């Protein structure tokens, strides 16, 4: 069941020294490609980084979070164009790329891999390292690899009743 995959997903910050096979990486990327986007704009591009030296530079650009360099793969999620205007007050691109990255995280768990969203990074530095054009935005980095530890940490989530109301906002 999908809920089992969701329950197993957590932010992995310690990776085993094991490469991700090409066919497995492609399955993860395919999950992102298939994600929905508003009006099917698909306003994303993903830069896959496996080179050790480049991952080390990305680690430094990510506030020296050492696991960024430790992960055998870093996927850099870029917004390449504006998204669909949602509710006449925001652009869907950041939501769209979030859906694509989340699809990747769930596929990764299904394939016994781990991921971690990275939001603490210098966009300017990441763009310089990866030669990303000025008009493209870096939304997030996603580490990918085999978790070093097999135990799944417990999660603290608000109760459903605190997040959901029916028929009207309460």
What is the C-alpha separation between 119 and 63, in angstroms, rounded? Answer: 10
Q: Which of left, alpha, beta for 77 (phi over 0: left; psi -120 to 50: alpha)?
A: beta
Helix (H) / strand (E) containing 137: strand 137-145
SS3 91: strand
The model's confidence at residue 134, banded by pLDDT at 50, 70 and 90, is very high
In terms of residue numbers, what domain contains 53? 14-148
Tell me the per-residue pLDDT of 29-75, one tens digit each, with 9 for 90 and over.
Answer: 999 999 999 999 999 999 999 999 999 999 999 999 999 999 999 99
Does the pLDDT at position 1 exceed 90? no
pLDDT of residue 159: 96
In a domain? residue 166: no
Task: Give the angle 121-100-14 at the CA atoms, nearest 5°.
Answer: 50
The model's confidence at residue 150, banded by pLDDT at 50, 70 and 90, is confident
* pTM score of the predicted model: 0.96
In a domain? residue 125: yes
Q: Report how many domains make up the chain.
A: 1
User: Which CATH number covers residue 134?
Assistant: 3.40.109.10
C-alpha atoms less than 13 angstroms from C-alpha of 93 in its C-beta half-sphere:
16
């Amino acid at each position: 069941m999908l809920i089992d995959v969701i329950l197993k997903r957590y932010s992995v910050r310690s990776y085993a020294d094991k490469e991700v096979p090409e066919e497995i990486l492609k399955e993860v990327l395919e999950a992102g490609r298939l994600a929905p986007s508003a009006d099917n704009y698909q306003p994303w591009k993903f830069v896959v980084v496996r080179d050790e030296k480049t991952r080390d530079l990305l680690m430094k650009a990510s506030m020296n979070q050492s696991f960024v360099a430790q992960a055998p793969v870093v996927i850099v999620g870029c917004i390449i164009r504006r998204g669909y205007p949602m509710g006449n007050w925001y652009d869907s691109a950041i939501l769209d790329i979030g859906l694509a990255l989340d699809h990747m995280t769930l596929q990764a768990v299904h394939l016994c891999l781990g991921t971690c969203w990275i939001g603490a990074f210098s966009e300017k530095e990441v763009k310089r390292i990866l030669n990303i054009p000025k008009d493209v935005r870096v939304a997030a980095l996603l580490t990918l690899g085999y978790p070093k530890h097999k135990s799944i940490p417990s999660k603290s989530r608000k109760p459903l009743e605190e997040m959901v109301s029916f028929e009207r906002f309460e």
